[in-house]
Structures are given as C-alpha cells and as structure tokens.
Amino acid sequence: MKQPDVIIIGAGIIGAACAEALSARGLQVTVIEQDVPGSGATAAGMGHLVVMDDNPAELALSSYSLALWKNLTEGQAPQHEYTQCGTIWVAADEEEMAAARAKAELLGAHGLACEMLAPAALYAAEPQLRAGLAGGLLVHGDGLVYAPKSARLLLSKAQARGATLEYGMVQALEDHGVQLADGRTLQAQHILLAAGSRCSQLLPELPLQAKKGHLAITDRYPGFIRHQLVELGYIKSAHAASGDSVAFNLQPRPTGQILIGSSRQFGSTEPAVETQILRAMLRHAVSFAPALAGHNILRCWTGLRAATPDGLPLIGPHPARRGLWLATGHEGLGITTSLATAQLLASQLCGASCAIPASPYLPERFHG
C-alpha cells in the first residue's frame, strides 16, 4: 500500500474535518480510529454551532467556522440534522442585560445578525422561561447539528477522494510514524494528532486538561422551546479554571426532544454519571424553565472536553517534534470550530495562506 502523506489519529469531528480538508487539497490521507468514527467527545457533545466572543481569536475562529458550516449543510440539512435555530442568551438581571448589549454591539460590528430582546419579546419567543427575567440577546445565525453524522459524512467525502480508514489503537508516536497496539507501524510525512482528551495519553507534556461534562435528553415535546437557550452566566462556567459548575443550556433537537446541559468538572475522568452533579444541573435548568420538571428524561451521559490554559485550541505544528501536527484542545467548541480548524491546519501544512490569522492557535505559544 502506498505510504500516505498524512496520518490522522482520531476520527471524531476534528479528525474527520481535517481528513476532508487535506484530501480536498490532493493529499493522500489515512485516518486511524480506535473506536467508531464520530464517537468520543463528538458523540457526547451538544452539537451546538455558536459564535463565542470571549476574545478576538475565539470570535474569529467560531464565526469563520459557522460560515463554513452553513456552506457545508446547504441543501443537506437533513443529512446533518442541521437547524438554524439561533441562540438566545438569557439575561437574569440588568447587569446581565448590560453584558448582552455589549455582546450585541461586538457581534454586530463583525456583521453577525443579532437583536436585543426586551422582556415582552423574550417571552413571546420562549414562553416557557420563568417570569421575572430581564430580557436577552438573540443571535440569529447559530444552529445545531448531530455531530456523529457530520463526522461520518466528512470522512466519507475524504474516502471518496482516496482516504483510508484504519482501526486500531495508537500506542506511541515516532518521527513521521505511529506504532499501533497490534504491532503495526505506519509511516507518513506528516502525523496529525486529533484525538481530543486522548492526546494526553500519547503526549503527556501537552498543556491539556480534561473537563468532564454531563448531559441529559428528554422524551419528545415538540415546540416546547424554539431556540437554543443559554444563560449569560454560562460564560463564567465555561472558562472557569477550577471547581465544579453547572449552567443553564437547553436545545430543541429536530426530533422534538430537549437536550439539557451543562456541567463542568475538573479532575474527574471516569465516564460514570455522577448523581450530585446531574441533580444540580437539572435543578438549575428547571429554575429557568419550570415546566421541565414534568418532562421525562430518557438518557443521561458524560463526556470529556480537552481544554488548554488559555481557552484556545492547539492548531498547527508541534514546536519540538518533526512531522507532528496538533488539532486538539477545543474544550466545548470542538464541533463549532471543527471546519475552521481543518482549514487552518490544512493551509499551514500545505504552505498556503489562511483565511484568518493562525498565530493565536499555534502550539508553540506554550513551548518552554
């Protein structure tokens, strides 16, 4: 078999997107997956496509990626289970309304459609929210997908161009090669590590920390909510550096089910659902949408997010290992930013210009 140009470790949404982007540039790609394509954090996540603006680099990456998602899903929304439901950032008080106005001004300055919602408009849009909220911000372009399907579709596009999929566990990295647990050694000019929180098993020195999250999904209640609903306090939870936290985040799935999040834990990597955290998350959700208390929960699960100290992913060449590239550390925005990550990675690897500056995401920022 001809030696590939690139070996990608991991067939989640990041690895699959990179396989598609690299194969589109004419490179021969082999993807190695130890479980099922689209599993891991990809299957565990909420599937939201949301513009985040905590810093300019996050805004650039997420907004660029949302534009790519809209192009990818155009005419194929059912295949990806894509809906452009929009996100309402819910403000509990006047302090959070001020934060919503600042967010609206920033997003608007970057050409992103959004509108402030006074209380009457908020309740007209989402009558299930509790009384007494101050209002909110509706970001029209946000949406959601079923990420395992999207990962498999991206991988299929790469395979149609000649990419191959190998099943196995990567045991060690070499210069321009990988060792598999079954004894095989595969080689390529470039090795791309895109295995989420598993990256730390192969490269313990990476500045990655696992954040465990819980999610729950209900039975079918069509029309209960129409937008993704997120409290403005979610931002504090998402970027906390320690401790356990929960935040209000509801999603209307195309099936009519309601996806309920979210939680974050440090130092817990066991996959088991933890009753105390789950109870706190559900209680917090009910405090924003009281009728949820009467809904049936069908399933609860957990996943691990790979997070960096500065909240930005690692996208680019490893600063000290020849032929090794990284695409990891996306925390809760892996699905949102997967397509932009793939384009940035492919542009760098091929020596082409990037649509947005690559420097904020380069792994070398942590070297030494």
Residues 127-159: pLDDT tens digits? 999 999 999 999 999 999 999 999 999 999 999
The total number of residues written for the chain in this structure: 368
Range among 20-34, 242-256, 261-275 with highest mean pLDDT value: 20-34
- Evaluate whether 214 touches 278 at the Cβ level (below 8 Å): yes
How much is the pLDDT for 367? 87
Q: At what angle do helices 334-349 and 56-73 cross, to 10 degrees?
A: 90
The dotted CATH code for 6-46+147-207+310-366 is: 3.50.50.60
Instruction: State pTM to two decimals.
Output: 0.96
What are the structural domain ranges in the chain? 6-46+147-207+310-366, 85-141+209-307
Q: Provide the terminal-to-terminal Cα distance of the chain, rounded to the nearest Å.
A: 39
Residue from 58, 80, 78, 59 nearest 69 by CA: 80
| pLDDT, tens digit, 9 for 90 and up, residues 44-66 | 999 999 999 999 999 999 999 99
Distance CA 9, CA 54 (A): 29
Distance CA 208, CA 299 (A): 29
Report CA dihedral (175, 176, 177, 178) to the nearest 10 degrees: 70
Q: Helices (H), strands (E): how many in the chain?
A: 11, 19
Q: Which fold has domain 85-141+209-307?
A: D-Amino Acid Oxidase; Chain A, domain 2 (3.30.9)
Q: What is the mean pLDDT of the chain?
A: 95
Distance CA 134, CA 117 (A): 9
Output b/e per residue, 338-353; b: 16+ Cβ within 10 A.
Answer: bbbbbbbbbbbbeeee
